[in-house]
Amino acid sequence: MATTDEIQQAVESFFLLFNGVIIFLMSCGYTLIESGGVRSQNAGHSLFKTLVIFISSALAYWIIGYPFAFGGNPNVILGTRFWASEQFGAWYNRPGVDNFTNSNNVYNLNNQDPYIHFFYQYMITFLVTNIAASAFAERCQIIVYVLFSILMSGFVYPFLAHWMWGANGWLGYVVGARDYGGSAIIYLTAGVAALIGTIFLGPRFGRFEPRTLPLFGHSIPITSVGAILVAFGFFVLNSGADHRISGVAYGDRVGHGLINTVLSGATSGAAYYLLQRLIETFAKPARHLKRRVFLSTVNSIIAGMVAVAGGAVTYNPWSAIIVGFIAALSFLLWSKLLIKLHVDDPVETAAVHIGGGLWGIFAVPIFRRTVEAQADGNFANNTFSIIYRITLGESWRGLLNSLCTAAVVMAWTAIFVAILFLVLKLLRLLKVSNEEELRGIDLFQHGEPAYALRIYCAACGEQLQGKTIEHETVGVRPNFPTIVTDAEGAIVPIEYFSERNGSNGNLNGSKLKSLNEENRV
């Protein structure tokens, strides 16, 4: 008959295994949001990108990433064992995991199988890399995704994970910082990497020249399915931040994580939608400059869940409402700022995860409850919080710890991602040509379109089906081809139509664009 320890091992191992599988589906959800949010001729490239990242990051994390993060014989900087699974799983070599943000004073994996722990941590690593890479959509070469995956999965993220969650990690153990569900370590890392990469890549052709023109995604249904999977993943990732479910206190924290994630995401989505409608009511922007309401509302919901992740298991529900509302404001401000600076992020990855993650790490010391979970699964009233213990200096120290965490994450990520992209830019391996971008990366890079006989018709010289165009004079711009945008926002040079129809392509400096786009809300 199974002992109590064996039953606990089975329960905790299955809990971690289940969470890891759902996080993988969460990554798939981010891919669907990206694929539906880009133009139709580049949708397949976004899907293939995820496969490339999965392959590259798995090998990099197995060889060096996991040893850096949770390897045996750890010090304050990194782990030093388990390179490519060397002696991994031996009874005397447990992974170097500690409790300093996971609340279990004798963590020791909660008797979980070490291979399941590796699987779970790799799924988070894959998630971080996949989120960041979604900002590079529609203009990035495949080699960039490979090298970026190796850098993020094998070096950048593992060190941050060790510093916060690993045994003896200096952020969690020495400084005393807390990031229970990864607002900074997971999502702020992804957001900063996305921002730096996007700056080096530059905007997509036609996004800001000759004027600011939104390049709409091609499929709201695909985006909506992705949003559902991402929300599903947040429920699991935020509520399972302790990596444990047995015991009264841990069960209570799982429940708080679930309800707080729902409330924060819902509040953020509602707040953003109302604020954006209010802004458009007074500002009255041109129709083609209006926000993509569906995608942006989805992103605001995600921003709320990102913000609450840092302390979802420690907040009371009313705190999650406040966290979600401020997350909507943060996302809105970051989104408008990046557009103002002509930073082209196709699905607003940087605005979502920097806006939500940066606020989320500072919310933890403000709103967390004073009760913690002990190793035996019972409660302990031993945590400092500004809201509940405002007069104690230790409560305010949490803000300094959060500031330290945010600064470390942003600086560490920005430095190494900038070095990689600078080298690739100097080698001219960073961005596809304008012709490839306009006519479709799917055909040029992969030789297979995501959809048959849609915008690819223009590139192949076939008949363009079901597209209506109109003239709009914007003045003559030297060295800038006259272009057409189809109903999905895809852009192709008018010369391809001119060659097929026997015209010289001279339309008196006109720019053609879709009636459907002009009438979008």
Calpha distance 1→178 (Å, rounded): 39
What digits encode the pLDDT tens for the residues 246-296? 888 888 999 999 999 999 999 999 999 999 889 888 877 766 556 668 899
Predicted pLDDT of residue 92: 53
The pLDDT confidence band at residue 91, using thresholds 50, 70 and 90, is: low
> What's the rounded mean pLDDT across residues 68-93?
83
- Is 50 exceeded by the pLDDT of residue 466? no
253 close to 235: Cβ distance less than 8 angstroms? no
Total number of domains constituting the chain: 1
| Tokens read off for 179 | 């990031």
CA distances from residue 152 to 54, 178, 194, 274, 327 in whole angstroms, order as listed: 12, 22, 11, 36, 26
pLDDT tens figures, 340-370: 999 999 999 999 999 999 999 999 999 998 8
Whether residue 462 lies inside any domain: the answer is no
What is the structure's pLDDT at 44?
A: 92
How high is the pLDDT of residue 8?
78
Q: What are 10's two structure tokens?
A: 């089975």
Distance CA 401, CA 145 (A): 33
Phi, psi for residue 470 in degrees, rounded to 5: -140, 165
- Mean residue pLDDT of the chain comes to 83
pLDDT confidence band for 106 (50 / 70 / 90): very low
Residue 97 tokens read as 């995991």
Q: Is residue 513 part of a domain?
A: no
pLDDT digits (tens, 9 = 90+) for 193-245: 999 999 999 999 888 877 777 888 889 999 999 999 999 999 999 999 888 88
pLDDT given at position 247 = 82
Better-scored residue on pLDDT, 422 or 489: 422
Say yes or no to pLDDT of 12 above 80: yes
Instruction: Pick the more confident residue, 307 or 387.
Output: 307
For position 311, which CATH number holds? Answer: 1.10.3430.10
What per-residue confidence (pLDDT) applies to 248? 87
Res 460 pLDDT > 70? no
Residues 411-452: tens digit of each pLDDT: 999 999 999 999 999 999 999 988 888 778 888 888 888 886
For residues 371-389, give the mean pLDDT. 79
3-state secondary structure 257-289: HHHHHHHHHHHHHHHHHHHHHHHHHHHCCCHHH
118 within some domain: yes
Summarize the confidence of residues 378-399 as an average pLDDT.
Answer: 82
pLDDT at 461 over 60: no
Domain-embedded: residue 494? no
Are residues 20 and 120 in contact, defined by beta-carbon separation less than 8 angstroms? yes
Burial of 471 (0-12, 13-18, 19+ CB in 10 A): exposed
Distances (CA, A) of 43 to 37, 138, 335, 486, 487: 9, 8, 23, 15, 15
pTM for the structure as a whole: 0.86
Residue 73 confidence (pLDDT) = 85
Q: Is the pLDDT of residue 399 over 90?
A: yes
Residue 249 has what pLDDT?
A: 86
In a domain, 439, yes or no: no
Does residue 466 form part of some domain?
no
E-strand stretches of 183-271:
none
Whole-number Å distance between alpha carbons of 2 and 8: 10
Task: Say if 468 falls within a structural domain.
Answer: no
DSSP 155: I
Range of the domain at 343: 8-434
Q: Is residue 479 part of a domain?
A: no
**Res. 160 pLDDT band, cuts 50 70 90:** very high
